[in-house]
């Protein structure tokens, strides 16, 4: 560590010499030559050379930089690596697919994990991308009601499958002792370095507003944020989350506002803006698709789902086959369990959220099962850059990049110091970089071929190591590091 820091400082110091024109500058581990650096944090948009040393950005210069390893970036944008605050796909293969979409940090903030420490341990040596998670209210409920350690719920559905079709962890109100136990679990998760508290209230419909408020209060006491999938779809539930956060003092991030607000999207964005203007620490995100996806066996499809989602059977597609559902196939597949695609959003609303100032891009990518799933886990970021920026001209390129880099970094950096080194191209920042061609970048994943990698993103670098090079995945490299809060010193 000491040597690394000395080398970095030496490199930064010697940069002055290089800029002054001396031929014998420092030698970097890697130099990216002649790319268009676009850094939303500083506003820099110019052709530069970028020098990387010991996993950090050590130089950003208009002058030549020396290295044995030089990557020509002529014609490419060099952007900070994309930070996905909503990545359920945390397996190596899911991360490899996200790498092709320019993601360098994939955080599981909505559902989260519980227990926290074993999950972080399980990721060591398997992660091409930086990873991290909140402590999960859903998984804590399964622990309290069933004494089952779910870990990462969407990846470990076997753990809850044995609990029958109506598990108490989702569908039973907690008594005061159970609320106390849930609070203990949340505190333990935060002690173990979780990045906040994750809620999927629509998946635990029996969790009362009082229970949720108790958990928000713990987050507020610990000065950590809450990431919330609201109790229902539409403005009422978003208002409930904001009101609870305001009453408890918790910093709130409302996940996937495109689906959660549904047809109320304009009202929801106005409500969020006015609460922010009133001083709340409140943010939101969107994924660039008009269909949602989740597990058919989950409590989200408890009776009454048609009214909640404002859809009916034919608006659901079974992800494995693409077939649209009927009452008969819905009942059958709900017993079997698996992913469905939910056609429920209006394109104009999705585009409006993507273009709206302050709304971040996050994929909500769900784990791919044998190549089936929702394309958002493979194409969200390229789709925004190619479709919404270039083709639709819904927003500018720098604004779009800000929504994928510095905004998510800032969302967390007040709580998670490591995020101060991410989401920007600056000397001393982590060398997480995404190089793409703004003229060709585009998503290729579709609902029939959801794992098709994005195009026009030839190079992706995590902590100075290529995970994508020359348009190809680099197999067998795992430079991803944990994003985690240091346990508090007592």
Name the site residues for Zn ion (rule: CB under 5 A): 229
Minimum distance from CB of 229 to Zn ion (Å)?
A: 4
Give whichever of 138 and 144 is closer to Zn ion, judged by the CB atom: 138
Give whichever of 229 and 376 is closer to Zn ion, judged by the CB atom: 229
Give whichever of 229 and 424 is closer to Zn ion, judged by the CB atom: 229
Minimum distance from CB of 57 to Zn ion (Å)?
A: 33
Distance in angstroms (rounded) separating the CA atoms of residues 367 and 178? 30
Nearest to 51 by CA among 10, 84, 21, 83: 10
Give whichever of 108 and 432 is closer to Zn ion, judged by the CB atom: 108
Give whichever of 229 and 231 is closer to Zn ion, judged by the CB atom: 229
Minimum distance from CB of 179 to Zn ion (Å)?
A: 23
Give whichever of 229 and 459 is closer to Zn ion, judged by the CB atom: 229
Alpha-carbon separation of residue 191 from 15, 130, 187, 265, 486 (angstroms): 41, 20, 6, 36, 9
Give whichever of 52 and 111 is closer to Zn ion, judged by the CB atom: 111
Minimum distance from CB of 203 to Zn ion (Å)?
A: 8
Minimum distance from CB of 200 to Zn ion (Å)?
A: 6
Give whichever of 293 and 405 is closer to Zn ion, judged by the CB atom: 293
Give whichever of 112 and 115 is closer to Zn ion, judged by the CB atom: 112
Minimum distance from CB of 84 to Zn ion (Å)?
A: 14
Minimum distance from CB of 237 to Zn ion (Å)?
A: 12
Minimum distance from CB of 227 to Zn ion (Å)?
A: 10
107: left (phi over 0), alpha (psi -120 to 50) or beta: beta
Minimum distance from CB of 300 to Zn ion (Å)?
A: 9
Give whichever of 26 and 288 is closer to Zn ion, judged by the CB atom: 288
Minimum distance from CB of 260 to Zn ion (Å)?
A: 7
Give whichever of 229 and 253 is closer to Zn ion, judged by the CB atom: 229
Minimum distance from CB of 239 to Zn ion (Å)?
A: 18
User: Which single residue brings its beta carbon nearest to Zn ion?
Assistant: 229
Residues 6+ apart with CB under 8 A from 382: 101, 102, 436, 441, 442, 443, 444, 454, 455, 456, 457
């Amino acid at each position: 560590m000491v040597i690394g820091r000395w080398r970095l400082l030496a490199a930064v110091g010697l940069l002055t010499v290089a800029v002054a024109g001396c031929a014998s500058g420092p030698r970097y581990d890697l130099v990216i030559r002649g790319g268009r650096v676009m850094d939303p944090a500083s506003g820099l948009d110019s052709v530069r050379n970028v020098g990387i040393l010991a996993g950090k950005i050590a130089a950003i210069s208009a002058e030549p930089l020396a290295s044995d390893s030089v990557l020509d970036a002529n014609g490419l944008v060099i952007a900070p690596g994309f930070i996905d605050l909503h990545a359920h796909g945390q397996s190596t293969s899911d991360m490899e697919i996200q790498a092709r979409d320019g993601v360098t940090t994939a955080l599981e903030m909505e559902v989260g994990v519980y227990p926290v420490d074993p999950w972080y341990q399980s990721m060591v040596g398997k992660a091409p991308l930086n990873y991290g998670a909140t402590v999960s209210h859903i998984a804590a409920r399964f622990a309290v009601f069933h004494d089952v350690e779910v870990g990462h719920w969407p990846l470990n559905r076997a753990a809850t499958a044995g609990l029958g079709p109506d598990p108490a962890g989702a569908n039973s109100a907690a008594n005061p002792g159970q609320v106390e136990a849930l609070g203990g679990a949340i505190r333990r998760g935060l002690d173990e370095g979780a990045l906040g508290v994750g809620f999927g209230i629509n998946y635990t419909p029996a969790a009362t507003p009082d229970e949720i408020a108790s958990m928000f209060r713990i987050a507020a006491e610990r000065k950590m944020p809450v990431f919330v999938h609201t109790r229902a779809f539409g403005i009422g539930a978003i208002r409930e989350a904001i009101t609870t956060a305001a009453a408890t003092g918790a910093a709130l991030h409302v996940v996937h506002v495109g689906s959660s607000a549904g047809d109320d999207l304009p009202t929801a964005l106005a409500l969020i803006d006015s609460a922010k203007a009133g001083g709340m620490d409140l943010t939101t995100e969107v994924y660039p698709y008009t269909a949602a996806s989740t597990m058919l066996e989950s409590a989200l499809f408890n009776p009454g789902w048609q009214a909640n989602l404002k859809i009916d059977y034919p608006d659901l597609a079974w992800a494995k086959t693409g077939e649209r559902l009927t009452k008969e196939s819905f009942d059958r597949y709900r017993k079997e369990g698996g992913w469905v695609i939910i056609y429920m959003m209006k394109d104009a609303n999705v585009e409006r959220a993507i273009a709206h100032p302050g709304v971040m891009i996050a994929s909500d990518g769900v784990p791919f099962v044998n190549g089936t799933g929702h394309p958002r886990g493979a194409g969200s970021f390229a789709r925004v850059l190619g479709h919404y920026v270039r083709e639709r001209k819904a927003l500018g390129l720098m604004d779009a990049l800000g929504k994928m880099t510095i905004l998510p970094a800032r969302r967390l950096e007040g709580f998670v110091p490591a995020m101060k080194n991410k989401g920007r191209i600056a000397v001393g920042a982590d060398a997480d970089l995404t190089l793409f061609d703004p003229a060709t970048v585009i998503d290729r994943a579709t609902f029939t071929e959801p794992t098709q990698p994005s195009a026009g993103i030839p190079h992706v670098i995590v902590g100075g190591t290529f995970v994508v090079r020359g348009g190809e995945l680099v197999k067998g490299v795992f430079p991803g590091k944990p994003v985690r809060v240091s346990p508090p010193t007592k």
